[in-house]
Structure 1
């Protein structure tokens, strides 16, 4: 059995908040991102699958009766957790799915709009705006970003670590 505080929504680009808004009560939600894609955005558009999760701190997340901490969080996470896919569409919409391509998972989906300005990816969803600095490979086939996350190891100790997420572009 695998145990982790790395909640499903923590894996969403540094956590798109699942907060709904109601404009009837005076709450101001950000407008959806609109407009033509620039050249960099057109090249970035497509399907991106989670490929790797590496932490700065070695953490033992697997409840396998062996003391085996590792910085490789991806290999310690379930197939359902690792099945995380962004689809950045050319109409500025995006979807983020988890567990859709693996059996016996609770499928989750987030939808919104996106923009890429330089190396900053901005997502608008659930009445929030989230901006994350990406490192995009020279051949535009991978991107990475980092986040500080809390994990609960097999001994119930909470460990905070900087984590690097790597996504790989699905080629047509």
Structure 2
């Protein structure tokens, strides 16, 4: 893959949705608190990255073949696919990347607090609040986020495409 961390950095930005600030900043968003609703209690689990699908076909693999695909996830290395959220019952969460796959150089973690409403997920991390519109599948075992990303393909072409990122709930 020519630029393996381009989308992963974007995914991390979506996942973390944070910009750091100092603790002395008066504009710092307070952590989310309070008892979990029934829906939030059901949501409090580990969710692993399971799919990345682009509307446009893109070739990210440097394999000497012209084989563009809308399935971005399949073009990723094990380290790039190794990303998950862990939403806890105390309203804390952690996002991790590259911790479980072997020989990953880009290991990252971030933490904060969370709150789930009907179709949105609020995350507070590093003093910032970000609200993400999410869509659950029918049995609420996965959720997806739609966003636009700029990919750099194997030929260094920049391609803007609407992309669906899906996380699947890990069974206990």
Asked if TM exceeds 0.5, the reply is yes
1:18 positional shift:
5.0
Helix, strand or coil: the match of 1:63?
coil
Q: Does 1:120 align with 2:131?
A: no
Conserved? CA contact 2:60–2:153, under 8 Å: yes
Give the aligned partner of residue 86 of structure 1: 85
Query: Could you list the runs of 5+ residues in structure 1 that have no partner in the other structure?
Result: none
What aligned pairs does 1:95-114 form with structure 2 within 5 A after superposition? 95-105=94-104, 106-114=106-114
Helix, strand or coil: the match of 1:167?
strand
Work out the number of aligned pairs and report it.
171
What aligned pairs does 1:139-158 form with structure 2 within 5 A after superposition? 139-158=139-158
1:113 positional shift:
0.3
Give the aligned partner of residue 163 of structure 2: 163
Counterpart-to-counterpart distance in 2, 1:5 and 1:99: 11
Give the aligned partner of residue 62 of structure 1: 61
Query: Could you list the runs of 5+ residues in structure 2 that have no partner in the other structure?
Result: none
Give the aligned partner of residue 41 of structure 2: 42
Give the TM-score, by structure 1 length. Answer: 0.92
| Pair 1:116–1:18, CA change in 2 (3 A) | closer
Counterpart-to-counterpart distance in 1, 2:151 and 2:84: 22
Q: Does 1:75 align with 2:74?
A: yes
Counterpart-to-counterpart distance in 2, 1:170 and 1:17: 22
Counterpart-to-counterpart distance in 1, 2:14 and 2:128: 12
| Pair 1:102–1:132, CA change in 2 (3 A) | same
1:9 positional shift:
3.3
